Amino acid sequence: MSCFYREAVVFARLCFGLKAEALKPTYMPVFLTKKERKKLRRQSRREAWKEEQEKVRLGLEAPPEPKLR
């Protein structure tokens, strides 16, 4: 496909009233592997735990109750 042909097709589409939005490329969603999902979950849970610990250290939150078994 030559460059001139592609330009002519795009120009014709614009002239015939197709919206520029229709010319935007569509992107496939990214699917994570099982290992990547586990890694992201671990990281987010660890960050939340660190934030909670920091709030306890600063005195903004009461320490959690001990877990009874």
Domain range list for the chain? 3-58
Q: Check: CB of residue 46 under 8 Å from CB of residue 53.
A: no
Q: Which of 1-5, 11-15, 28-32, 34-38 shows the lowest per-residue confidence on average (mean pLDDT)?
A: 1-5
Q: Encoding tokens for residue 44?
A: 């987010």
Handedness of CA 43, 45, 47, 50 (dihedral sign): negative
Is residue 48's pLDDT more than 70?
yes
Categorize the per-residue pLDDT at 43 as very low, low, confident or very high, splitting at 50, 70 and 90: very high
Evaluate if residue 20 carries a pLDDT over 60. no
Q: What's this model's pTM, rounded to 2 decimal places?
A: 0.54
Q: How many CB atoms lie within 10 A of CB 53?
A: 13
The CA–CA distances, whole Å, from 63 to 36, 44, 48 equal 32, 21, 15
Residue 56 has pLDDT above 70, yes or no: yes
pLDDT single digits (tens) 25-42 = 778 888 999 999 999 999
